[in-house]
């Protein structure tokens, strides 16, 4: 679990840039009246919010296990 939280934190900036790039690409397609599947558009519109929720959840979980991490560090 801790490695997943660390991976989310480590890739957060890169992921945010990728999300912004994907959203911009879809915006350009719409600008040139390219037909886009509504389901794909909805997914692109939601991906930023979904990523933010995942990062928040990872931060919450990391905070929740803080005491266990401290205890583990003392024991080892």
Condensed to tens digits (0 to 9), the pLDDT of residues 5-57 reads: 999 999 999 999 999 999 999 999 999 999 999 999 999 999 999 999 999 99
pLDDT at position 74 over 90: no
Q: How far apart are CA 13 and CA 5, in angstroms?
A: 14
What's the confidence (pLDDT) of residue 21? Answer: 97
pLDDT at position 71 over 90: no
What's the number of CA atoms in the CB half-sphere (13 Å) around residue 57?
Answer: 9
Q: How far apart are CA 37 and CA 23, in angstroms?
A: 14
Q: How far apart are CA 71 and CA 76, in angstroms?
A: 9
What's the confidence (pLDDT) of residue 55? Answer: 96
Domain boundaries along the sequence of the chain: 2-75
In terms of pLDDT, which residue wins out, 61 or 67? 61
What's the confidence (pLDDT) of residue 76? Answer: 83
DSSP at 33: T
């Amino acid at each position: 679990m801790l490695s997943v939280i660390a991976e989310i934190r480590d890739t957060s900036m890169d992921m945010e840039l990728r999300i912004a790039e994907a959203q911009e690409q879809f915006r350009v397609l719409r600008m040139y009246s390219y037909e886009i599947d509504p389901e794909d558009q909805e997914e692109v519109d939601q991906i930023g919010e979904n990523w933010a929720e995942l990062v928040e959840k990872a931060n919450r979980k990391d905070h929740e296990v803080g005491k266990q991490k401290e205890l583990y560090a003392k024991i080892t």
